Structure formats: C-alpha cells, structure tokens
Amino acid sequence: MKKRILSAAILIAIFVPLIIIGGLPFKIGVGIVSILAFKEVIDLKKKEKNLPSIIKVLGMISLLILIFTSKNDYLLNLGLSFRTIGYLLILLLGPTIFYGANDKYTTKDAFYLIGWILLLGVFFNILIVLVDYNVLLLVFLVLITVLNDTFALIFGKLIGKHKLIVSVSPGKTWEGSLCGIVLGTFVAVMFYLNLISSNVNVIKICIFVVILSIIGQIGDLVFSKIKRESKIKDFSKLIPGHGGVLDRLDSLIFVVIAFLIMFTIL
C-alpha cells in the first residue's frame, strides 16, 4: 500500500504541473505517455508473436500522427479526419504484402494495431484539446474516474458482498460500484458547479456524471477482460503498485471519449 501511495504522489507531482502549464510541455508529456502505452500494446502482442521492428516504428508514427495532426482547437469540431485515418491504414496495412511468405506480420496483426492506435490516438488527442479548451474540464473528468475507483475500492472492501462480474474482475462488487458512482458523482458535480459553471441544470449535470461514471466502470472492466484473456495481471510494471500506463488510464480513456460524444450531442 505504501508503494502504491508513493507512486500516486509522484505521478500527481509530475502531471498536475504539466496540465496546469499546458502548451508544449503538456504535449511532450502526452507524447511520452502515448509511446509508453503503445509499448505495452506491443508487449501484449509479443506473447503471441514479436512483430518486425519496422512495423513497431510505423505503428508509433501512426499513433503520433493521430495525436498531433488531427487536433482542432474548437472542441465541438474535434474529430479524426479521413486523411489521418488514411495515413494509419496505408502505413499499417500496406506492409502486410511484404510478409506474404511467412506469418511475421499479417492483416490480422495490422488490424490489431489499427484498433489500439485508433483508441489511444483519439484519447490522447482529446486530452490535448481539453487542456487548450478548458483545463478544468480535464480535471473534472479525472476526478470522476479517480473518485469512482477509490470509493468503489473502499466500500467494496467494507460492505461488498455481491460480485459484479466474477468472470472479468472477481474483486469488484455491486455495493462498491454503486457507492463509487454515488459518492464520486456528488464530489464531481460540486467541483463542476463551483469551479467550471454554476449556470447549469443540477439534475442534468448529475445525470451526465452518473452516465460517465458507469461508462468509466465499463472501461475498467473492458481492460480487465483484455488482461484476463491475455493471462496477465498488469500491462507492465512501470508504475510500482499500479501496473502500467494502460492500467491507470483504462477508465479515463472511456470517460474522455464518452464525454466528447455527449458534449457534442448536448
């Protein structure tokens, strides 16, 4: 537990200033974290096969293109262009024809990378836009995921009796999940009303946060299922007591993408 708390404190000390400063330092931080996340994706694939080095490089280039060239400074207009998706498809599908005589890199491998790169590219791209648009919105979304996870863990251990989805994550309970949603929603809504905007319908913002909280828990379970299917406990051991980058970003990835969808609709 001490190791987990110390690691969390170090992460906060590093990334909170970057988020506040924004601009180029934040973008550099996003670039570094995205590369670390992509390495975990490659390492996950390595359990099945070791992809050619050139493919790993092309995958990393594709991810950085999605993160940094499809950014739009206005949140409502954010979206991956056909051009950036075209880069991704050509860079990763094209090389499969040169490995026709063996299985070092197949179209199945290409679509594995394309799926992950799209997911991570959209997520990190939105982070940059959020910081440029209103940094407090990003803090708000991080609060939703962190508080949800924290309260779910605490009350799951205290009063949890009924398992949520045993086959995916045996430790999670319905009681912990509901407490995480309720208490996390309360704190996040208070943050929004006091620091972002008080000129909103309280019931609507509560519903908005509850939906994001549920989606965050779904994201957590999806990544837990990926780890269970791959027979691993964590995506890596990069962060002592926490696992890897993807272990820490699982819920936030889903919450950030869902926020963008809901924001543009509403």
How far apart are the C-alpha atoms of 42 and 38, rounded to whole Å?
6
For position 161, what pLDDT does the model report?
A: 79
Contact 266, 38 (CB under 8 A): no
Q: Which domain holds residue 69?
A: 2-265
Closest listed residue to residue 180, CA positions, set 152, 209, 211:
152
Mean pLDDT of 17-32: 86
Q: What is the pLDDT of residues 225-244, one digit of tens each?
A: 999 998 898 898 888 777 89
* 93 vs 87, higher pLDDT: 93
Q: How many domains does one find in the chain?
A: 1
Contact 73, 132 (CB under 8 A): yes
Rg (CA), the chain: 19
pTM of the model: 0.89
Lowest mean pLDDT among 38-47, 180-189, 257-266: 257-266
Is residue 257 over pLDDT 80?
A: yes
Q: What is the pLDDT of residues 175-204, one digit of tens each?
A: 889 999 999 999 999 999 999 988 889 999
Is residue 79 over pLDDT 70?
A: no
Q: Which two tokens stand for residue 248?
A: 């820490």
Average pLDDT, the chain: 87
* 240 vs 152, higher pLDDT: 152
Lowest mean pLDDT among 7-21, 113-127, 131-145, 225-239: 7-21
Percent of the chain scored above 90 by pLDDT?
49
How far apart are the C-alpha atoms of 177 and 162, rounded to whole Å?
10
SS (H, E, C) the chain: CHHHHHHHHHHHHHHHHHHHHCHHHHHHHHHHHHHHHHHHHHHHHHCCCCCCHHHHHHHHHHHHHHHHHCCCCCHHHCCCCHHHHHHHHHHHHHHHHHHCCCCCCCHHHHHHHHHHHHHHHHHHHHHHHHHHHHHHHHHHHHHHHHHHHHHHHHHHHHHCCCEEECCCEEEEEHHHHHHHHHHHHHHHHHHHHHHHCCCCCHHHHHHHHHHHHHHHHHHHHHHHHHHHHHCCCCCCCCECCCECHHHHHHHHHHHHHHHHHHHHHC
For position 6, what pLDDT does the model report?
A: 66
Q: pLDDT band at residue 31, thresholds of 50, 70 and 90?
A: very high
Q: pLDDT band at residue 80, thresholds of 50, 70 and 90?
A: low
